[in-house]
Structure 1
Amino acid sequence: MLYFLQQVLNGLHSGALYALLAFGYALTNGILHRTNLAYGAIFAFSGQTMILVAVFGYQALWMTLPAAVAFGIAGAAVYVALAVRVLAGWVFEPLAARSPNAIVVATLGVLIVLAETGRIAADTHDLWLPPMLAWPVIFAEADGFRATLTLIQLLDCAIVAAAVLFGAAMLARSRFGRNWRAVCDDPEAAALCGVDVGATFRGALMAGGLGAALAGVLAALYYGNIGFGAGLIYGLKILFVTAVGGYLSPARAALGGLAFGMAESLWAGYFAVEWRDAWMLALLAAMLVLVGTGRDARSPV
């Protein structure tokens, strides 16, 4: 029983990261209405940038480890904010107005550029951060077995919960949330009602991109490294998770991400880890087919 509890606790942390990513993806996809393959790349690019800048601060600038990590987080925030602003204003907004289907191709190009930028900047080497805040917090103990989470895992979960709750409250009660829902439903009608469609479009993309960046930083702090190809696999998982739950409810997408993280952890605890991603993606694909079939059955003829 404690082993099962340990897998659930592990899933709570990984599910929190998926929840934050799913929330941000639903926020951006509601505006784009197209597959955004660049979203996972922003997540990986943020984590890689944080590690690269932190290593530079530690080795070249002789910073202490906490100062180097803070320097890395600040550097990642600046780089990702700049990248997302450029993508929102110079890539996604013009394409959404002229050729929406080209967004899929453009996001694939962005994914390749960001992944290759991280690889070249690291000289194709994996750089690792040392374990941080790895002190275990015991939740249950019996017969010498302890169900634990580390302090960094608990901190990550708390930050994600705060970010998702704040984002959900803003969407539910703020003017931006009302404008976002209006633009998601019909941008032309929203513009006729006085909504600044361009500002809402850019704001949603910025908020979603910064959510992915935060998830990338939290993942890098916990795992110590993010691979060059991590953006593609994380992006595909989040794409399927949000497709199953629907793109117009970021809060529901976050709950789906949390459930997916739990399921993934339980699979890793009881079955072969090397088959985890294949089976989880297959499960999401099957759920997407069933959900789509159910929606078609309920739609009027």
Structure 2
Amino acid sequence: MLYFFQQVLNGLHSGALYALLAFGYVLTNGILHRTNLAYGALFAFCGQTMILTAAFGYQVLWLTLFAAVALGIVAAFLYAALISHILSRSIFEPLADRTPNAIVVTTLGILLLLSEASRIAADTHDLWLPPMLAQPIVFAQNAGFKATLTLIQLLDCAVVVATVALATFAFARSSFGRRWRAVSDDPRAAAMCGVDVRAVFRQAVLAGGFCAALAGIMAGLYYGNISFGSGLVYGLKILFVTAVGGYLSPPRAALGAAAFGMAESLWAGYFPVEWRDAWMYLFLVAMLVLIGAGRDQSKVA
């Protein structure tokens, strides 16, 4: 029983990262209604930027570890703001009215560009942060086993819960949330009612970029490293999860992504981990097929 409890605790952390990514992804795609493959790349790029900047601050500027990490976090958020600005104005807005494939191909190119930029900046070397806040917190134990989470995992979960909760509250009560829902439902009707559709879209892309940056920072601090190809893996998972749950509600997408992270953790605890991603993708594809079939039947009825 304690082993199962340990897998649940592990799932809380991975689910928190997925939840934050899904929340930010839906903020953009709820308005864009196009597949954005660059989102996962932005997550990985910001995490790698944090690690590279921290290494530069520690080794070259002779900063303390805490100051170097703080510098890396600031750099990651600045790059997230810059990339989000470029994406919204130079990519998404000009291509929003084109065929869906235009956005897919362009964001795939951006994914490759960001991945290669990170690889070149790191000189194709993996830089690792030292373990931080790795003290285990015991939740339950018996004679031979302890169910634990590290302090950094607890902090990550707390940050995600606080961020998503505050964002959900603001999304439900603020004028931005009302304008976002109006634009997501019908941008032309919203524009006729006086809503600045471009401003709403740019704010949504920026907020989504900050969510990706925060998730990348937390993943980098916990794992110590983010590989060059992890952006595609995380991006595809979030794409499938949000496609199953829909793009109309960022909080609902966050809950679905958290459940997906929990399912991944349970699979890794009881089944061969090398088959985890394959079976999880197969499950998501099956869910998409069932949802599509259900919608078709409702239309016929």
Fold match by TM threshold 0.5: yes
Q: Which residue of structure 2 lines up, in the alignment, with residue 171 of structure 1?
A: 171
Q: How does 1:85-124 map to 2 (within 5 A)?
A: 85-98=85-98, 100-124=100-124
Amino acid at match of 2:205: L
Q: Which residue of structure 2 lines up, in the alignment, with residue 246 of structure 1?
A: 246
CA distance in 2, matches of 1:204, 1:170: 13
Amino acid at match of 2:116: E
Amino acid at match of 1:245: G
CA distance in 2, matches of 1:188, 1:84: 23
CA distance in 1, matches of 2:299, 2:121: 50
CA distance in 2, matches of 1:97, 1:207: 22
Mark the runs of 5 or more structure 2 residues left unpaired by the alignment: none
Q: Which residue of structure 2 lines up, in the alignment, with residue 64 of structure 1?
A: 64
Contact 2:35–2:100 at 8 Å: present in 1 too? no
Q: How does 1:127-146 map to 2 (within 5 A)?
A: 127-146=127-146
Q: Which residue of structure 2 lines up, in the alignment, with residue 181 of structure 1?
A: 181
Secondary structure in 1 matching 2:165: helix
Greater Cα shift, 258-267 or 78-87: 78-87
Contact 2:241–2:253 at 8 Å: present in 1 too? yes
2:284 maps to 1:289? no
2:53 maps to 1:53? yes
Q: Which residue of structure 1 lines up, in the alignment, with residue 31 of structure 2?
A: 31
2:276 maps to 1:276? yes
Q: CA RMSD in A?
A: 1.0
Secondary structure in 2 matching 1:134: coil
Amino acid at match of 2:258: L
Amino acid at match of 1:26: V
Q: Which residue of structure 1 lines up, in the alignment, with residue 201 of structure 2?
A: 201
Greater Cα shift, 5-14 or 106-115: 106-115
Extract structure 1 runs of 4+ deviating beyond 3 A: 97-101
CA distance in 2, matches of 1:100, 1:281: 22
Amino acid at match of 1:278: A
CA distance in 1, matches of 2:147, 2:98: 54
Greater Cα shift, 23-32 or 97-106: 97-106
- TM-score, L = length of structure 2: 0.98
CA distance in 2, matches of 1:204, 1:124: 33
CA distance in 2, matches of 1:100, 1:269: 38
CA distance in 1, matches of 2:297, 2:77: 45
CA distance in 2, matches of 1:24, 1:64: 32
Amino acid at match of 2:102: A
Contact 2:19–2:258 at 8 Å: present in 1 too? yes
Amino acid at match of 1:28: T
Contact 2:245–2:256 at 8 Å: present in 1 too? yes
Q: Report deviation, 1:290.
A: 1.0
CA distance in 2, matches of 1:128, 1:27: 31
Cα displacement string for residues 113-157 of structure 1 (whole angstroms, at most 9, x for unaligned residues): 111110110011111000000011110011121100000000000
Amino acid at match of 2:76: A
CA distance in 2, matches of 1:21, 1:35: 15
Q: Report deviation, 1:27.
A: 1.1
Greater Cα shift, 289-298 or 203-212: 289-298
Size of the aligned set, in residue pairs, is 301
CA distance in 1, matches of 2:186, 2:170: 20
Secondary structure in 2 matching 1:144: coil
Q: Report deviation, 1:106.
A: 1.2
Q: Report deviation, 1:98.
A: 4.9
Q: Report deviation, 1:299.
A: 2.3
- TM-score, L = length of structure 1: 0.98
Q: Quick one: structure 1 residues 94 and 285, their matched pair in 2 at CA, closer, same or farther if it must change by over 3 Å?
A: same
Greater Cα shift, 289-298 or 60-69: 289-298
CA distance in 1, matches of 2:281, 2:3: 25
CA distance in 2, matches of 1:99, 1:105: 11
CA distance in 1, matches of 2:107, 2:44: 14
Secondary structure in 2 matching 1:299: helix
2:16 maps to 1:19? no
CA distance in 2, matches of 1:100, 1:186: 17
Q: Report deviation, 1:101.
A: 4.0
